[in-house]
């Protein structure tokens, strides 16, 4: 198995732009001519915006990297689209970025789990829409970059630049309370993990604990899921819950939920890193 990995070159290709005919055919035909084996392909059109994520491999002795890069760059120009090519190193530790807003408990839990070795991944950047703050588990040298989110298009453009600059493999929304656009999500298809404070599909959107409290539910939970183009509807990775005691107030529910959020988010990342997850028709299966 180890030799097979060494002899193969792996790459991810993303295509983003205005929807038009022939895009899939042109990209796949070019890769076929370059002796690529297309192992996975997913494409979707949302409000006239086309997005495609493609996984390809080559025998090591048949992968001409300069020709592939130049050819895809030429296709991007002729189509008027963005085409990104990234070669992967299967044995390299995954590099993760954390996106945060005001609450820090999930970010701190993930960083602590990485530091202890519970998560076999390397945090490389923290991006927040509030000015820099100190995290109790913040490793020395880990950059915190403040990206204001008043203009979503500009903010996402800056965040994507940072993710590319730091060669990020996957993104963790550690209670990041902003909605990401389809073009952002497509660039990291099934590589953005979010934690939501309810047992989805119940109580999507903001103020989930308050909604649960006001509805008088007897069980409150949290959900870790991959981010999709639809708010809080992405494939579910892990969930957990706790029973409410009679007379429990909202602030007690929030405190209990936040503790659970951190645990479930770390569990979901661990499942992702061990490559035990397969997304099939919008549902996550452990393999």
Q: Among all residues, which ones are annotated catalytic?
A: 232
Axis-axis angle for helices 105-116, 250-273 (nearest 10)? 40
Helices first, then strands: H and E counts in the chain = 8, 13
- Look-up: residue for tokens 């760059």? 73
Mapped onto helix, strand or coil, the DSSP state of residue 57 is: strand
Strand residue runs (E) in the chain: 8-18, 37-46, 49-59, 82-88, 94-100, 121-128, 144-146, 170-173, 192-196, 219-226, 236-243, 277-280, 283-286
Mapped onto helix, strand or coil, the DSSP state of residue 189 is: coil
- Spatial distance between the Cα atoms of 236 and 207, rounded to a whole number of angstroms: 20
For residue 180, give Cα distances in angstroms to 89, 95, 123, 169.
Answer: 27, 20, 21, 17
Element (H, E) at 182: helix 182-187
Mapped onto helix, strand or coil, the DSSP state of residue 193 is: strand
Burial class (CB in 10 A: 0-12, 13-18, 19+), 193: buried
- Spatial distance between the Cα atoms of 117 and 233, rounded to a whole number of angstroms: 31
Structure tokens at 90: 């299967």
Question: Which of 128, 114, 109 is closest to 262 using CA atoms?
Answer: 109
Structure tokens at 122: 């390397």
């Amino acid at each position: 198995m180890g030799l097979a990995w060494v002899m193969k070159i792996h790459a991810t290709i993303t295509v983003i732009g205005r929807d038009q005919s022939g895009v899939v055919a042109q990209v796949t035909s070019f890769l076929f001519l370059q002796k690529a084996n297309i192992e996975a392909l997913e494409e979707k059109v949302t409000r006239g915006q086309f997005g495609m994520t493609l996984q390809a491999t080559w025998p090591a002795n048949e992968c001409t990297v300069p020709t592939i890069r130049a050819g895809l760059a030429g296709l991007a120009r002729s189509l008027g689209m963005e085409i990104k090519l990234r070669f992967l190193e299967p044995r390299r530790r995954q590099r993760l970025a954390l996106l945060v807003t005001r609450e820090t408990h999930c970010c701190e839990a993930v960083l602590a789990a990485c530091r202890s070795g519970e998560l076999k991944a390397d945090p490389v950047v923290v991006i927040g829409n509030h000015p820099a703050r100190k995290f109790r588990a913040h490793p020395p040298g880990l950059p915190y970059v403040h990206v204001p989110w008043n203009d979503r298009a500009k903010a996402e453009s800056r965040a994507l630049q940072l993710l590319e600059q730091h060669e990020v493999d996957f993104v963790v929304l550690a209670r990041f309370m902003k909605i990401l656009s389809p073009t952002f999500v497509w660039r990291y298809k099934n590589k953005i993990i979010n934690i939501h404070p309810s047992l989805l599909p119940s109580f999507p959107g903001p103020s989930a604990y308050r909604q649960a409290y006001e509805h008088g539910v007897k069980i409150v939970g949290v959900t870790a899921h991959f981010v999709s183009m639809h708010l809080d509807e992405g494939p579910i990775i892990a969930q957990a819950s706790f029973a409410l005691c009679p007379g429990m107030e909202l602030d007690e529910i929030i405190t209990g939920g936040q503790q659970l959020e951190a645990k479930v988010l770390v569990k979901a990342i661990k499942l992702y890193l061990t490559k035990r997850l397969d997304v099939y028709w919008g549902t996550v299966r452990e393999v």
